[in-house]
Chain A
Amino acid sequence: MTLFALNGVTLTVPGRRLIDGLTLEITQGAVTALVGRNGSSKSTLLKLIAGQLRPDAGTIAHAGRPLPDWAPRELARSIAYLPQVTPPAEGMRLAELVALGRYPWRGALGRFRPEDHAAVEGAMDRCGLRPFADRLVDTLSGGERQRGWIAMMLAQGARTLLLDEPTSALDVAHQVEVLGLVQDMCRQTGLSAVIVLHDVNMAARFCDRVVALDAGRLALQGPITELMTPAALARVYGLPMQVQAQGGKGGGRLFALPE
């Protein structure tokens, strides 16, 4: 089943073509890593499939329907998107932030129902945030705050999570924590996720599939193992890298090291 189908998608800003005739498919029920060099338009692609940007040419379909056919709130019930830099949530408690995730279901005026409260509580439990429910968001540590925003995405009840470099400001322990959380959710409840990642090894550990971009064009797509070869890494990053396996043959994990 295809989660996203892109056909000839092009996006140009004055003086630069960010996305250049991109045609690809993203599979449902998997964690897909979106990788590439700086300036390869990874974030732009994520914004395009999230409906945050409109392409100049080409079509993007989500679950078989073109994005422009989705009403804004209908799309938000199906796709949750986390921007690269989360905005300051002035004066907001964590539980209130997570509750914003119910907006797509209730709109500007609809009354909160028991299932909304259940979704908010469930999302906070899922992310281990129960003890922080009454804390102000802006007083939380970076990792807690990031989990809070992911809890908001869960409360949104969307089946697809789009995350733009969710780990860029976190130390390695919190990176593992956040990505592990996303991976678990996808494994256990059948969600799909597309994550923009810089770290190849994190991608190899937590993702099932990969889409690699090079200057707005498709460089590679397929299972994550296809990325973890010296030839593929050299093509995507333009840097010779070694790949080593650890933890036994066959089931071992692959590591990439710059030479």
Chain B
Amino acid sequence: MRLLLPAVLLALALWTFAALAALPFADWPALPWHPAQMETGQILLAFGLMPRGAVALLAGGCLGLAGALMQAVLRNPLADPTTLGTASGAQLALVAATIFAPGLLAGGALPVALAGAAAVTLPVLALGARRGFAPVTVTISGMLAGMLCAAVATALTLAQGHYLLSLVIWNGGALTQQDWSGPGHLALALAAGLMLTALLARPLMVLSLGAEGARGLGLGLAPLRLGTILIAVCLSALVSAEVGLVGFVGLAAPAIARSLGARTMRARLLLAPLAGALLLSLADGALLALAAMGGPSLPTGALTGLIGGPLLLWLLPRMAAHVPHRAEAGDRLSRRARRPGLVLAVLAALVLALSALTLFGGRGPDGWGLIAPELRATFLPLRATSILAALSAGALLAGSGALLQRLTANPMAAPEVLGVTGGAALGYAAAIFLFPASGPLALALCTAAGGALALAALSAHAMRADLAPARLLLAGLAIGALASAVLGAIMASDDRRAWVILGWLAGSATNVTPAGAAALAGLALALLAALLASARWLEILPLGPGVGRALGLPMAQARLGLILLAGLATGAATLLVGPVSFVGLMAPQIARSLGLVRALPFVAGTWLIGALLMVLAAFGARTATFPYDLPLGLVATLVGAPWLFLTLMKRTAA
């Protein structure tokens, strides 16, 4: 509690500093305000800075309350509108509406944002319900859904970029105001939210005993969960509609409330909005003061995003030990293929056949068909290069996905969540900004260095936490969140070079040189060899560290070595397809549903399926919008992600 007063004073001081820098106190307008009789500076203060201060407080309060409600009802200290995908859903809905149906926004942004937020949050929670709301699994699926939405939004922005620059800035969470309507809406919502929360406090306290305990005390779980989530989603969607993406305040506020000594549910629900309000005010005040001193004008959401990653890392070791472990584990009853060798042979044949087919076939100026003989000399080498590159990237991503899933015994593990791709993206951005006119080699080196750095940070964290697999995944997500926050800030900085990065983020296989493709193929083969050689380890590792150690497996070395292997493979593939593709998550799931269960057929099958998926994606990217190429990673994501969600929904734990 002693921290609270200084924080209030500091937030006030920062805002006042910015306001005084804009206009000396003597010139401040006196109430009542009449814009017609005021000077420009006074209007800017009264209808810009002042409502902005209020919006920071109110939006922070709304997010804090939403986070506290989500954490209480899911019994998950990692839940918040960012980690459940709610905010990204709202963002995607607004971007899509701006492009395709601007008329929808006439009635205000709120309905659109709300629909998007609900459309993403509900599937994530439905998936969570199938797995006993296990915190790590819910968080991972939520953040994956968020990544998917962000990828689609990126693609839309890329396609219609010139119209959407303001949206890019909005994506970064800008609190800028031009009148008092924003604070009005937020105040109304916060008041309503607080009143409803007061009604929910006692049932939520009972729920903190766990689902069985709560049911035993006669609590209706479904209405309580649905109602609470609905309130939280509404609050979060409203904030999204008013000020854009402001990440991680909902995660931080309840954590701050807890560390300030809010022990009971009621105290936490009350203190969290306060903490959120102060946090956002401090962040916004700091940016305002920076701008007042002549610094760059950055969106506030980028700053809170920067806090988010480290915060997740800090929260992880403090997660309660009562997390239902069984629920985090994989599905138990799997179908087994009677002849895995046959399945593998069919997969290999499919990869070869499809590669050949997409090499010669395709869409030309005269419609679908085989490539004309006179064009072969020109086009076949180009196509072969991009197909080989896509194939290898898919195999690399899928291979590391298989590795990570065996290592962590969690079907949601994937290289996409290891943070390696985020680090690689930062490396790429750094190369673009720091070395103007850098060649492909410099870009590749910087990207690899970024990935390696992220991997090193992850390994360091993992070694300290005895490499507990679930925490490893969340640490990776935290690193990824940090990277995307920095990227968001770069995008919002209104720089031409940002578009280069945006293009790379969507992924493409068309710029690969033959040497690059050959190198990737070599790496993919090396990964396959390593996977086959470590098949016995991969058989034992899902049984946990106790059994592994008892059988004489060198646990620390094996885990570290396999993580490094996965990281390197991911980094190499990321160079090509961009940071998001989901192949690493999808391929292992498909392999399982084909009945490839034991380590050896599982890793080999996953590797093949990854290659297969990427060949298909490359073909789709080349032909869907002929003659223009779509980004490769984007096609892979769009095709795979909905299917993946359905599969995960179907497969319930026994």
A residues whose Cβ falls under 8 Å from a Cβ of B: 50-52, 71-77, 79-83, 86-92, 96, 100-101, 103-104, 107-109, 136, 138-139, 156
Contacts and interface: CB of A to CB of B under 8 A. Distances in A.
Interface string B533-576: 11011011011101101111110000000000000000000000
Contacts of B544: 83, 87
Given A83-B546, A90-B542, A139-B333, 4 more contacts: A72-B552, A74-B552, A83-B544, A100-B543
Interface stretch (B199-207, B271-279, B324-332, B365-373): B324-332
Contacts of B336: 91, 136
Contacts of B549: 50-52, 72, 81
A236 B541 CA distance: 38
Of B329, B332, B334, B409, the most chain A CB neighbours within 10 A belong to B332
Contacts of B551: 76, 100-101, 103-104, 156
A81 B548 CA distance: 10
B598 interface: yes
Contacts of A100: 539-540, 543, 551
29 contacts: A52-B546, A52-B549, A72-B552, A74-B552, A76-B550, A79-B550, A80-B550, A81-B550, A83-B544, A83-B546, A87-B543, A88-B326, A88-B329, A88-B332, A91-B334, A91-B597, A96-B539, A100-B539, A100-B551, A103-B536, A103-B540, A103-B552, A103-B553, A104-B551, A107-B536, A108-B533, A108-B537, A109-B533, A138-B654
B332 A138 contact: yes
Given A83-B547, A87-B544, A104 B552 contact: yes
Contact of A75 (B330, B546, B552): B552
A223 B540 CA distance: 37
Contacts of A104: 551-552
Given A90-B331, A90-B332, A103-B536, A76 B598 contact: no
B332 A52 contact: no
A96 B550 contact: no
Contacts of A92: 597-598
Contacts of B547: 83, 86-87
B606 to A, nearest CB: 14
Contacts of A82: 550
Interface string B149-187: 000000000000000000000000000000000000000
Contacts of B533: 108-109
Given A90-B542, A92-B598, A103-B536, A72 B333 contact: no
A138 B598 CA distance: 14
Nearest to A156: B551
Nearest to B536: A108
**4 closest A-B pairs by CB:** A76-B552, A91-B597, A73-B552, A81-B550
Contacts of A71: 552
A73 B340 CA distance: 30
A159 B537 CA distance: 24
A96 B540 CA distance: 11
Contacts of A96: 539, 598
Contacts of B537: 108
Of A50, A107, A108, the most chain B CB neighbours within 10 A belong to A108
Of B336, B542, B550, B554, the most chain A CB neighbours within 10 A belong to B550
A2 to B, nearest CB: 21
A138 B336 CA distance: 13
Contact of B546 (A77, A81, A138): A81
A72 B539 CA distance: 17
Nearest to B595: A91
Nearest to B329: A88
B598 A91 contact: yes
Interface string B228-254: 000000000000000000000000000
Interface in B376-424: 409
A91 B591 CA distance: 13
B533 to A, nearest CB: 6
Dominant secondary structure at the B interface: loop
Contacts of A87: 329, 409, 542-544, 546-547
B117 to A, nearest CB: 35
A234 B550 CA distance: 35
Interface string B330-357: 1111101000000000000000000000
A5 B552 CA distance: 21
A83 B536 contact: no
B550 A52 contact: yes
A83 B334 contact: no
A91 B282 CA distance: 52
Contact of A90 (B550, B552, B554, B597): B597
Contacts of A50: 549-550
A77 B547 CA distance: 14
B333 A77 contact: no
B53 to A, nearest CB: 43
Of A77, A88, A89, A107, the most chain B CB neighbours within 10 A belong to A88
A66 B351 CA distance: 53
A158 to B, nearest CB: 9
A164 to B, nearest CB: 9
Contacts of B553: 72, 103
Contacts of B552: 71-77, 103-104
A51 B331 CA distance: 30
A81 B554 CA distance: 15
Nearest to A137: B332
Nearest to B596: A91
Contacts of A73: 552
Contacts of A90: 330-332, 334, 409, 542, 597
Contacts of A52: 546, 549-550
B651 to A, nearest CB: 12
A92 B597 CA distance: 8
A67 to B, nearest CB: 12
A138 B539 contact: no
A193 to B, nearest CB: 14
B377 to A, nearest CB: 46
A100 B540 CA distance: 7
Contacts of A136: 333, 336
A51 B554 CA distance: 12
A41 B641 CA distance: 47
A108 B540 CA distance: 10
A174 B647 CA distance: 38
Of A82, A91, A136, the most chain B CB neighbours within 10 A belong to A91
Nearest to B557: A72
Contacts of A89: 542-543
A242 to B, nearest CB: 37
A238 to B, nearest CB: 26
Interface in B265-307: none
Nearest to A139: B333
A149 B632 CA distance: 47
A86 B542 CA distance: 12
Nearest to B325: A85
Contacts of B331: 90
A74 B553 CA distance: 10
A133 B542 CA distance: 21
Contacts of B550: 50, 52, 76, 79-83
A121 B331 CA distance: 29
Contacts of A80: 550
Of B329, B409, B551, B598, the most chain A CB neighbours within 10 A belong to B551
A96 B326 CA distance: 22
A82 B550 CA distance: 8
Contacts of A139: 333
A91 to B, nearest CB: 3
A102 B493 CA distance: 60
B587 to A, nearest CB: 17
A247 B544 CA distance: 45
A136 B331 CA distance: 13
Contacts of B409: 87, 90
A107 B534 CA distance: 10
A142 B480 CA distance: 42
Contacts of A76: 550-552
